């Protein structure tokens, strides 16, 4: 377990609300929303939740995933952001929000790459090569949240039997992808097919 004292943590949230706005992100040919684990969808209005990642194969005339593993918020601004730029659900916010502004790629328990969200004003001073000092800059909770999200995706992809799907908010269609890795600032997916409706 990583032990971090308060003076070791260089990241401090400025409460600017930037990370809670402009949530639709264009990555390669996809438009994606805020990443939500299955037990986090109850935090948001039902009409704002759509699938994000799916695995397996169901249907011949209209191929689509058999299982939805991850969801996304289909709203460009978080519904829980107040006018004072505070989070109404801060203590139980989604793991991806807890992980902000750090983005890790973790494979088999090892950190492969780390990057800092460039739009985060509170992290502008942190060097982009943070791999060695992750807990020093961000604290244990941020690193742990990244590990949870990345580990969840890694496990899901291992169980995919070669069928991995991503729901594109731009086209409102499932796209089957290959070479799937956890999406960090470099989106390393290649679409091999598209299909409509969930």
Find the DSSP H helices in 17-109: 95-99
Distance CA 152, CA 173 (A): 23
Q: What is the pLDDT of residue 26?
A: 86
* 119-147 residue pLDDT tens: 888 877 776 555 545 666 666 677 778 77
Q: Spell 6-17 as b/e; 16+ CB within 10 A means b.
A: eeebbbeeeeeb
Q: What is the pLDDT of residue 43?
A: 97
């Amino acid at each position: 377990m990583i032990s971090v004292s308060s003076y070791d943590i260089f990241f401090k949230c400025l409460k600017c609300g930037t990370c809670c706005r402009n949530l639709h992100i264009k990555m390669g040919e996809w438009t994606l929303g805020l990443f939500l684990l299955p037990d986090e969808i109850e935090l948001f209005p039902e009409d704002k939740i759509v699938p994000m990642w799916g695995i397996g194969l169901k249907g011949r005339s209209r191929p689509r995933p058999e299982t939805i593993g991850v969801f996304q918020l289909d709203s460009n601004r978080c519904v829980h952001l107040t006018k004072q730029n505070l989070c109404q659900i801060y203590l139980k916010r989604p793991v991806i929000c807890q992980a902000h502004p750090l983005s890790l790629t973790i494979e088999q328990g090892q950190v492969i790459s780390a990057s800092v969200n460039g739009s985060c004003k509170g992290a502008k001073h942190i060097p982009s090569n943070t791999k060695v000092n992750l807990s020093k800059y961000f604290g244990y909770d941020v690193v742990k949240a990244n590990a949870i999200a990345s580990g969840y995706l890694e496990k899901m992809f291992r169980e995919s039997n070669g069928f991995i799907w991503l729901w594109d908010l731009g086209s409102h269609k499932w796209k089957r992808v290959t070479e799937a890795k956890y999406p960090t600032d470099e989106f390393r997916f290649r679409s091999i097919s598209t299909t409509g409706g969930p």
